[in-house]
Amino acid sequence: MMKTKSLLLFFVLSSTFMIAQEKLADKFFGNYGYVKATELYKEVLKKGDTSLHVLTRLGDCYYNNSKSEEAALWYEKALKKYDEKVNPEYIYKYIQSLRSLGKYTEANEWMKKFTEIQNNDTRAKDYDPENIAKYNELAKTENDRIVKLINLPFNSKYSDFGSYVYNDQLYFASARNTDEKKLYSWNQEPFLDLYSVAINKDGDSISYGSADFLNAEKVNTDYHEASIAITNDGKTMYFTRDNVSKKNKVQYDKKGTTHLKLYRASLVGEIWTDIVELPFNDDIFSTGHPTLSPDNKTLYFVSDRDGGLGQTDIYKVEITGDNTYSEPENLGEKINTEGREMFPFVSKDSTFYFSSDGHLNLGLLDIFKSDILKDSTAESENLGAPYNSGYDDFAFFLNDSENENDKTGYFSSNRPDGQGSDDIYSFDASICIQTIKGITRNSNTNEILTGVTVKLINEVGKVLEEVESNENGEYQFMVDCDKKYTIVGSKEDYKDDKKTVSTNNENEKVTEVDLNLEPLIKDNQIVINPIFFDFDKWNIRTDAQYELENIVDVMRAHPTMVIKIESHTDSRGSDRYNMKLSDRRAKSTRDYIISRGIAAERIESAIGYGESQLLNKCSNGVKCSKEEHQLNRRSYFYILKE
């Protein structure tokens, strides 16, 4: 019977210890002390606690420090043991860890499960299970790329696409003209017409006017008009139209197919008129989607004419005079594939953008960029998410800007959750960067501290970067705008200092954040914050354990150090009782330090002095405040030998 009671007592005490240590680990985790938290969680694990909380927290400790191999190990253990009880967020972190290790096949299998569980999650919406590496490389997370997308307010329930901006007017094609009775048989929507909408700018704020029928004479017909390009002087517009006769009748080839053609219009007053068909059109193939080089000397377009590489290819012609052009030249296999290449656009810096379903993509048409105009050997690069999705993404347009960091513009997509079949989206990928910098100092002397480890931590607790302060105590991080960060400074024999910084949207702003680390060793003592005990008790609470870890760290850093512990109470209670209480507290403090792996012989003594060494007037019978009594409740850790 006695043996049973002893075993029961052992299990109760062991369970209580594990719970306390787990709470302590949680406290370090909450304060970004991932290394210490890892150590403590592993100790709890050794004592038999293999709970879901402990396993996933161990995974998080490594994940937040970008240690993918260890993170994957602990997430896998949690998933194997608890399966459906695991929060899907940990499945996603496991997937990310596997990808980081190049284990795409395993990541793909777990992504299938994540998609089944989280079918409304945006990270799962565009997932393509047929191509493992493709998803990993192109479907970047929001932490990898910061781009603000807006579905524009003038989109209709019909097809709207093909943005082109000139003089604060946005030109686009739309099938919204329901006044016409004719419907395009392909999608049972009205035929496309050209529209314009005013762009209103007020500082950083942008709004749009109402969409108006293009101010043009005989540009819009009963059939399709779309995809324009305007010369730098604003006097000439190239646009795409169905093959329409002078009598406004659509023309068909021998197979009954109507093709697209390119046209040119001139601005007379405020009206687009004098429409001329370009000479390299033909009735037996399509030519459309015009764009101009920055110097307006080259016209790029799309065609399915004979001799191409695929279904539709991108070509160029030199503009040599009044409606005279060089022979069309195919841009070659670095751009064109066996599939569809469409919607070319050339930015101010001569970067070539286009859409394709033939290059590696997330599905259907994706937007690509290439330096082909500057380097004939350049490869095409998929822009990735969020520009691209598992749907058609096309008609990319980048606004002109003198600031190379300004990356704003438009593209079109038929991705879900839009207003119509095709919608126009604005994007803002401007690189807004700020600097957080500071100096690390000794908080007591204000002297420069060198070699301080400074960590940059994001809002979800992930360590983004880690540096050491230099010989002048300086550190620096480049950070994103409109974010919240935590800066933590650590150095052996010092308490961590932690500061929170919120950045705004002011580009290149510099925020100075000095870190002041308090030394733990002062004269002949290790000095920590006061250790608190519950009333009339001597067990070590979690907050006391958290402070005592500073003692553990110092003694680990100085393996020959020997200390003694003194514990004191205030005057409340009898002298004799306070002497016993303080002695129990001193010894429980000693026992905790020993339990953390410090050899018992390195603590020479742990003695309580009760109320015999008060620091102020608050002796028996003297009325004092709580704060004055608190001053007398203290512990000392004297260094006897280093």
Picking from 291, 309, 228, 223, the residue whose alpha carbon sits closest to that of residue 259 is: 223
Question: What is the C-alpha separation between 280 and 260, in angstroms, rounded?
Answer: 12
Q: Report percent pLDDT > 90 for the chain.
A: 60
Spell out the domain ranges in the chain: 2-125, 157-400, 433-517, 521-641
Classify domain 521-641 by CATH architecture. 2-Layer Sandwich (3.30)
CATH classification (class only), 2-125: mainly alpha
Mean pLDDT, range 595-623, rounded to an integer: 94
Show the beta-strand stretches assigned E in 381-473.
Answer: 381-382, 393-398, 408-413, 423-428, 433-442, 453-457, 463-468
Task: Read off the pLDDT band of 4 (50, 70, 90).
Answer: very low
pLDDT of residue 334: 94
Q: Is 143's pLDDT higher than 60?
A: no
CB 264 within 8 A of CB 278: yes
CATH classification (class only), 433-517: mainly beta
pLDDT of residue 6: 45
* Percent of the chain as helix, strand, coil, to the nearest 5: 25, 35, 45
User: Which burial class, exposed, middle or buried, applies to 54 when counting CB atoms under 10 A from its CB (0-12, 13-18, 19+)?
Assistant: buried
pLDDT of residue 142: 42
Question: What is the C-alpha separation between 65 and 103, in angstroms, rounded?
Answer: 19
Task: Read off the pLDDT band of 10 (50, 70, 90).
Answer: very low
| Average pLDDT value over all residues in the chain | 87
- 360-398 pLDDT, tens digit each: 777 778 999 999 999 999 999 999 888 988 788 999 999
- 515-537 pLDDT, tens digit each: 999 999 999 999 999 888 877 78
Omega before 386 within 30 of 0, i.e. cis? yes
Q: How far is CA 373 from the centre of its chain?
A: 32
Picking from 307, 257, 309, the residue whose alpha carbon sits closest to that of residue 280 is: 307
Q: Is 299's pLDDT higher than 90?
A: yes
- Residue in this structure with the two tokens 């949680």, named with its chain if needed: 26
CB 449 within 8 A of CB 468: no
- Give the lowest-confidence range in 272-281, 578-587, 625-634: 625-634
Q: Is 17's pLDDT higher than 80?
A: no
pLDDT of residue 608: 94
**pTM exceeds 0.75, yes or no:** no
Task: Read off the pLDDT band of 186 (50, 70, 90).
Answer: very low
pLDDT of residue 380: 92
- 333-360 pLDDT, tens digit each: 999 988 889 999 999 999 999 999 888 7
Q: Is 37's pLDDT higher than 60?
A: yes
Instruction: Report whether CATH 2.120.10 matches the domain 157-400.
Output: yes
CB 408 within 8 A of CB 430: yes
Q: Which residues are bridge partners to 300 per DSSP?
A: 291, 316
588: CB partners within 8 A, 6+ apart = 538, 539, 540
Question: What is the C-alpha separation between 192 and 482, in angstroms, rounded?
Answer: 40
- Identical fold for domains 433-517 and 521-641, yes or no, is no
- 419-473 pLDDT, tens digit each: 988 999 999 887 788 999 999 999 999 999 999 999 999 999 999 999 999 999 9
Q: Report percent pLDDT > 70 for the chain.
A: 88
